[in-house]
Amino acid sequence: MNSMKRTILVLVLLAWALPSPRASAASPADLRQKAGEFITPLPERMKGAEADSKDKIALGKKLYFEKQLSVNGTISCNSCHVVDGKGGGADGQPTSPGAHGKRGDRNSPTVLNAGLGLAQFWDGRAEDLKAQAKGPVLNPIEMAMPSEGAVVERLSKQPAYVKAFTKAFPGSANSLTYDNLAEAIASFERTLITRDRFDDFLKGDDRALTPKQLKGLELFLGTGCTTCHQGPLLGGTSYQKIGLVNAYENTKDKGRENVTKDEDDRFKFKVPTLRNIALTGPYFHDGTQKTLHEAVGQMAWLQLGKKLTDHEIDAITDFLNSLTDKARTK
C-alpha cells in the first residue's frame, strides 16, 4: 500500500471513529435538564386572559383583520402581522409598507406569543398589548388614521360594530371607544399562544427532536445563546445592545435610547423571541439578515465574538425549527 492510499485509509477510519457533527454527545435527559435551567415551556394562557370573554375575543379578531382601521381602507393589523394561512405573525418583509406605501424603519416583530414579553415594539415603548394596539392605527406611516375620534366615528357608522362592542363591553353607557378597541384587539392577541415540539421535549418526550436538533440544542446551550435567549419565549425578557462584542454596521437606529433618552440604552433593542423564528424572516430590527442561517452566524459574532462553522450553524438552525408552532408547520 503506497503512502497516499495509507493516508486516505487513516482519514476514513478517523472520520468513522469520530462523533458525527450532527449527533449530540449528551443524552436527551441531560440536554433537557441543562435547557431547563434557562428555558421553560410556554404557559397555557397569557396574563390578563382570565378577563377575556368570548365576545371580546371575537370582536378583537374582527378588528385585527379590519382594513377600515387604516385611513384609506388598505391595510389591517394582519397586513404586517400575518396570523392566518399558517403565518408566523410577521409579514416576511425587511420593513413593512403602510397605508400610503411608505415603509417604516424597523422589521415587523411577530405577534405570536407577544403578550408574554416584558414590553412591545423593538424599543419597548408600549408596556403591553393594549398599549401597542393603539399605536399603529394613528401612526402616520402605518395605518395613518388622523385621530382616535376619527376611528370611533368610522366604526360607529357600522351597526354590526356598535352591537359587537355592546356585547363585548356590557354595562357601559358608551362601549365603542378607542380604549375598548385596543383592549379587544389585545384580547384576541392573548389567544395567540403556540405549541411546538421543543416544549414537547421539555415536558419529557425524548423523540420530539431529531438527532440533529438535539445537537443543535447542545450547541445553542454551549455557545452561550441562552445569555439573552431564555425564559418561555427564548427571548423577549430583556434589552441588549446589538454589537455587544463586535460592532454592528447599522448605527443609524439608536434603539431604546430614542425612548429613554439614556445614552446607556444606545443600540439596545428588545431581545426577540425565538419561538416561530423560522417563520419570521428576514431578521434583526432592520430586516437585513435574509436567512436564519445568516442571522445565527451574525448573532454569534456580534454578541459573543464567536465564529461558528457552517455545520454548527446548520445544527442550531435545525434546532430553531423545532420552535415552530405545530399547527403552522409547513
Q: For the chain, state the CA radius of gyration.
A: 23
Cell of 196: 411546538
The pLDDT tens digits of the residues spanning 226-285 come to 999 999 999 999 999 999 999 999 999 999 999 999 999 999 999 999 999 999 999 999
Q: What is the pLDDT of residue 188?
A: 98
* pLDDT the model gives residue 23: 67
User: What pLDDT does residue 230 have?
Assistant: 98
Domains of the chain (ranges; CATH) run: 21-42+194-328 (1.10.760.10), 49-189 (1.10.760.10)
Q: What per-residue confidence (pLDDT) applies to 139?
A: 98
- Residue 324, pLDDT > 70, answer yes
Contact between 88 and 276 (Cβ < 8 Å) = yes
Instruction: Give yes or no for residue 293 having a pLDDT over 90.
Output: yes
Residue owning grid cell 416561530:
276
pLDDT tens digits along 11-43 = 333 333 334 445 677 999 999 999 999 999 999
The pLDDT of residue 6 is above 80: no
* pLDDT of 173: 86
Residue 41 is predicted with a pLDDT of: 98
Q: Is the pLDDT of residue 8 over 70?
A: no
* 36 φψ region: left (φ > 0), alpha (ψ -120 to 50), beta (else): alpha
C-alpha cell read off for 170: 356590557
Query: Could you tell me the end-to-end alpha-carbon distance of the chain, in angstroms, rounded to an integer?
Result: 52
d(CA 61, CA 188): 5
Handedness of CA 9, 14, 17, 20 (dihedral sign): negative
Q: Tell whether the model's pLDDT for residue 89 goes beyond 90.
A: yes
306: three-class secondary structure by DSSP: coil
Give the mean pLDDT of the chain: 93
- For position 271, what pLDDT does the model report? 98
User: Which tens digits make up the pLDDT trace of 109-161?
Assistant: 999 999 999 999 999 999 999 999 999 999 999 999 999 999 999 999 999 99
| Residues with catalytic function | 142
Q: Which pLDDT band, with edges at 50, 70 and 90, does 9 fall under? A: very low
Is the Cβ–Cβ distance between 189 and 60 less than 8 Å? yes
Share of the chain above pLDDT 70, in %: 93
- Among 326, 328, 323, 308, which residue's Cα sits nearest to residue 236? 323
Beta-bridge partner residues of 239: 270
